[in-house]
């Protein structure tokens, strides 16, 4: 009888934790719903903020979904999928990070009962993919193209998009002030590239929000400076600007060579040679005619005083991102040597000054010939508040940037979701079988956005949704959504609550893929934490020594 028994095969390391089947799938779904519940209250213009304290005691106050999920230490493997889609939404579009996680969790919540009843996850995945494609096509059909021919109208549309993005942020009370700043910043970029990294954001604690300003050029904080710096001029008109990647210090020559000497005279010759080398470099820089010298590397006290004597401004240890934006604005190129510098290697601007802003001094370049960059200088009371202002403006900048690129907009406030939901519900009635239920579940999940916006504002969400369903059931009312101001519903397109269509399309596709990914997993395998052989041996040795000490044994 023993010969007929199957031999036991040990495949995984002892202590490996495996979970599989329907129970594992439901556990993953519950984890995603729990994560969505954490950020649910942050959605919409009346959303609440979260205060997060990390392991080092740093405090962050934010209602940005991607920021909150990034700061939460989520250990559940399936839950991390929601964090990933929030981050990708933030990187791709900038706004809608809470909506994308909330909708993905709501999809899983709607089909949880079907999983419990034994419906195959593959059937649900097929239905979700179909529904997602139909929904995206419907959003594209609803989208209104942006007309670029009239610059004033085009600017107004972009301001409305920025205003909608800012309405749910901490700075919503000042959105009229900031929306103009955001649109000015994006329109100052190269309209082909629209590289948001060319918009510098500098934060200075103190003052009010309205003290924030947009510098049409480059501004960066005064760098570390040596004696002699205060003697340098602090403003220029039409200066030539030289950007270097050269260290102008005496030790730079001494550190790069090894010399053996036998007599004192020989050592003096070496010292003289070092001084000659650095003076040659400084003379060549002065000969270029540059009035402003910037370098990624340090500019020492000798060079600082030398430039001060010749009415030249210098700044060493300039951050790479700041120097890159300076070059983009003023022209020229970064030079790694002071030899053979030609006029075309220098940049220029109409006006340069070092100005006091709050408690900091800033180097400001204005009137740049290639002005494809700008700097936002943000003011505010608390440091956490200014950081949230930065995150809010980043979202608005990304939204305006996407509106320019995608050239289509839709109404916000849950209007688009309700119209797509109605369309999918009507479509589901035209088909038979399980797919009808799954597409209907997708349609119902879309209602989570207007419902949560109403809930967070303190409205009766059931009443609001019933009114919206009634309006969307008749033709010509596709833009009706939640109206925060009147505590009812209204035509959000006429009320200028606009968003780029790409935001909605990205939410639909990313949420569906995340839900499908979680549904396709039926087993989780956790490998036990294993120590390296050396570490394990050391741990055993330490244990033996402690035990010996406990018994009063002394090793000699």
Q: pLDDT tens-digit profile of 175-193?
A: 888 889 899 888 888 777 7
Q: Is the pLDDT of residue 544 over 60?
A: no
CATH number of the domain encompassing residue 440: 1.10.560.10
Task: Specify the pLDDT at position 10.
Answer: 54
Closest residue by Cα to residue 241 from 339, 337, 324, 333: 333
Pairing of strands 374-380, 50-53: unpaired
Q: Is the pLDDT of residue 200 over 90?
A: no
Same domain membership, residue 308 and residue 264: yes
CATH number of the domain encompassing residue 199: 3.30.260.10
From 81-95, 138-152, 246-260, the region with the lowest mean pLDDT: 246-260
Task: Specify the pLDDT at position 124.
Answer: 93
Task: Specify the pLDDT at position 136.
Answer: 94
Q: Is the pLDDT of residue 266 over 90?
A: no
Task: Specify the pLDDT at position 555.
Answer: 42
Same domain membership, residue 366 and residue 222: yes
Task: Specify the pLDDT at position 536.
Answer: 52
DSSP states of 445-479 as a string?
A: HHTHHHHHHHHHHT--HHHHHHHHHHHHTSTT-TT
On whether residue 202 sits in a domain, the answer given is yes
Distance of CA 72 to the CA centre of its chain: 16
**211: enclosing H helix or E strand:** none
**272: enclosing H helix or E strand:** helix 264-287
From 6-20, 143-157, 232-246, 404-418, the region with the lowest mean pLDDT: 6-20
Closest residue by Cα to residue 205 from 361, 379, 377: 379
Same domain membership, residue 261 and residue 119: no
From 65-74, 420-429, 466-475, the region with the lowest mean pLDDT: 65-74
On whether residue 7 sits in a domain, the answer given is no
Task: Specify the pLDDT at position 464.
Answer: 92
Q: What SS3 class is residue 213? A: strand
pLDDT band for position 206 (cuts 50, 70, 90) = confident
Q: Is the pLDDT of residue 356 over 90?
A: no
pLDDT band for position 427 (cuts 50, 70, 90) = very high
- How far is the C-alpha of 453 from the C-alpha of 441, rounded, in Å? 20
- How far is the C-alpha of 282 from the C-alpha of 396, rounded, in Å? 45
Same domain membership, residue 390 and residue 352: no
Closest residue by Cα to residue 170 from 376, 391, 379: 391
Task: Specify the pLDDT at position 534.
Answer: 52
On whether residue 34 sits in a domain, the answer given is yes
Task: Specify the pLDDT at position 137.
Answer: 94
- How far is the C-alpha of 370 from the C-alpha of 520, rounded, in Å? 51
Residue 119: CA atoms inside 13 Å, Cβ hemisphere, count?
A: 18
On whether residue 198 sits in a domain, the answer given is yes
pLDDT band for position 556 (cuts 50, 70, 90) = very low
Tens of pLDDT, residues 91-112: 887 788 889 999 999 999 999 9
Measured in degrees and rounded to the nearest 5, phi and psi for residue 16 equal: -70, 135
Q: Is the pLDDT of residue 442 over 90?
A: yes
What is the number of domains present in the chain?
A: 3
What are residue 205's DSSP bridge partners?
380
Q: What is the mean pLDDT of residues 9-21?
A: 58
| Burial class of residue 485 in the structure, from the number of CB atoms within 10 Å of its CB (0-12 exposed, 13-18 middle, 19+ buried) | exposed
CATH number of the domain encompassing residue 342: 3.50.7.10
Same domain membership, residue 317 and residue 256: yes
Q: What is the mean pLDDT of residues 211-240?
A: 85
Handedness of CA 364, 365, 367, 371 (dihedral sign): negative
Q: Is the pLDDT of residue 64 over 70?
A: yes
Cα diameter, the chain:
102
Q: Is the pLDDT of residue 551 over 60?
A: no
Q: Which two tokens stand for residue 396?
A: 């608005």
On whether residue 375 sits in a domain, the answer given is no
Tens of pLDDT, residues 295-309: 998 888 888 898 999
Q: How much is the mean pLDDT over the chain?
A: 84
Q: Which two tokens stand for residue 73?
A: 């230490």
Distance of CA 39 to the CA centre of its chain: 17
Q: What SS3 class is residue 349? A: coil
Same domain membership, residue 181 and residue 92: no
Q: Is the pLDDT of residue 539 over 60?
A: no
pLDDT band for position 554 (cuts 50, 70, 90) = very low
On whether residue 5 sits in a domain, the answer given is no
- How far is the C-alpha of 397 from the C-alpha of 511, rounded, in Å? 23
Same domain membership, residue 364 and residue 247: yes
From 396-400, 409-413, 536-540, the region with the lowest mean pLDDT: 536-540
From 71-75, 367-371, 390-394, the region with the lowest mean pLDDT: 367-371
Same domain membership, residue 333 and residue 321: yes
**In 460-473, which positions are buried (b, 16+ CB within 10 angstroms) versus exposed (e)?**
ebeebbeebeebbe
For residue 145, the tally of other CB atoms under 10 A from its CB is 10
Task: Specify the pLDDT at position 537.
Answer: 53
Same domain membership, residue 225 and residue 350: yes
Handedness of CA 47, 51, 54, 56 (dihedral sign): positive
DSSP states of 241-256 as a string?
A: EEEE---BSHHHHHTT
For residue 50, the tally of other CB atoms under 10 A from its CB is 19
Task: Name the residue with higher pLDDT: 377 or 269.
Answer: 377
Q: Is the pLDDT of residue 1 over 50?
A: no
Same domain membership, residue 224 and residue 196: no
Q: Which domain holds residue 319?
A: 217-370
Same domain membership, residue 341 and residue 472: no
On whether residue 539 sits in a domain, the answer given is no
Same domain membership, residue 390 and residue 351: no
On whether residue 1 sits in a domain, the answer given is no
pLDDT band for position 553 (cuts 50, 70, 90) = very low
Q: Which two tokens stand for residue 333?
A: 């190129």
**Is 87 within 8 Å of 64 (Cβ atoms)?**
no
C-alpha gyration radius of the chain: 31
Task: Specify the pLDDT at position 151.
Answer: 84
Q: Give percent of the chain above pLDDT 70.
A: 89
**360: enclosing H helix or E strand:** strand 360-366
């Amino acid at each position: 009888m023993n010969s007929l028994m199957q031999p036991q095969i040990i495949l995984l390391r002892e202590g490996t934790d495996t979970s599989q089947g329907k129970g594992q799938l439901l556990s993953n779904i519950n984890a995603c719903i729990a994560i969505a519940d954490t950020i649910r209250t942050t959605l919409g213009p009346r959303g609440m903020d979260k205060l997060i304290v990390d392991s080092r005691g740093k405090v962050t106050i934010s209602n940005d979904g991607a920021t909150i999920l990034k700061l939460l230490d989520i250990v559940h493997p399936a839950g991390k999928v929601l964090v990933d889609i929030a981050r990708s939404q933030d990187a791709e579009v900038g706004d809608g990070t809470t909506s994308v996680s909330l909708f993905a969790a709501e999809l899983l919540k709607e089909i949880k009962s079907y999983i419990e009843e034994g419906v195959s996850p593959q059937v649900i995945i097929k239905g979700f993919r179909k529904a997602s494609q139909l929904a995206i096509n419907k959003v594209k059909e609803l989208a209104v193209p942006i007309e670029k021919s009239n610059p004033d109208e085009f600017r107004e549309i972009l301001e409305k998009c920025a205003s909608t993005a800012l309405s749910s942020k901490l700075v919503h009370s000042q959105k009229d002030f900031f929306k103009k700043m955001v649109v000015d910043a994006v329109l100052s970029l190269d309209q082909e590239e629209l590289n948001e990294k060319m918009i510098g954001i500098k934060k200075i604690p103190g003052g009010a929000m309205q003290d924030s300003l947009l510098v049409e050029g480059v501004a960066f904080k005064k760098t570390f400076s040596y004696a002699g710096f205060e003697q340098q001029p602090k403003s220029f008109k039409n200066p030539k600007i030289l950007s270097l990647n050269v260290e102008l210090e005496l030790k730079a020559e001494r550190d790069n060579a090894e010399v053996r000497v036998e007599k004192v005279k020989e050592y003096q010759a070496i010292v003289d040679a070092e001084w000659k080398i650095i003076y040659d470099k400084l003379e060549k820089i002065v000969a270029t005619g540059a009035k402003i010298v910037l370098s990624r590397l340090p500019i020492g006290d000798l060079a600082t005083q030398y430039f001060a004597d010749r009415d030249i401004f210098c700044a060493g240890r300039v951050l790479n991102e700041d120097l890159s934006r300076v070059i983009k604005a003023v022209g020229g190129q970064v030079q790694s040597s002071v030899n053979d510098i030609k006029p075309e290697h220098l940049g220029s601007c109409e006006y340069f000054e070092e100005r006091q802003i709050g408690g900091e001094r800033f180097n400001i370049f204005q009137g740049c010939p290639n002005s494809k960059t700008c700097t936002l200088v943000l003011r505010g009371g608390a440091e956490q508040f200014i950081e949230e202002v930065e995150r809010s403006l980043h979202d608005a900048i990304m939204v305006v940037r996407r509106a320019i690129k995608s050239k289509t907009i839709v109404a916000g406030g849950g209007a688009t979701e309700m119209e797509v939901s109605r369309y999918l519900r009507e479509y589901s009635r035209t088909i038979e079988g399980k797919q009808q239920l799954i597409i209907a579940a997708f349609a119902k999940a879309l209602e989570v956005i207007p419902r949560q916006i109403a809930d967070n504002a303190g409205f009766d969400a059931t009443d609001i949704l019933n009114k919206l369903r009634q309006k969307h059931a008749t033709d010509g009312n596709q833009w009706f959504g939640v109206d925060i101001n009147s505590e009812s519903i209204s035509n959000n397109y006429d009320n200028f609550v606009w968003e780029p269509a790409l935001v909605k399309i990205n939410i639909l596709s990313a949420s569906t893929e995340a839900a499908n990914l979680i549904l396709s997993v039926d087993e989780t395998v956790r490998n036990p934490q294993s120590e390296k052989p050396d570490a394990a041996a050391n741990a055993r040795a330490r244990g033996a020594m402690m035990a010996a000490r406990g018994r009063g044994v002394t090793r000699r």
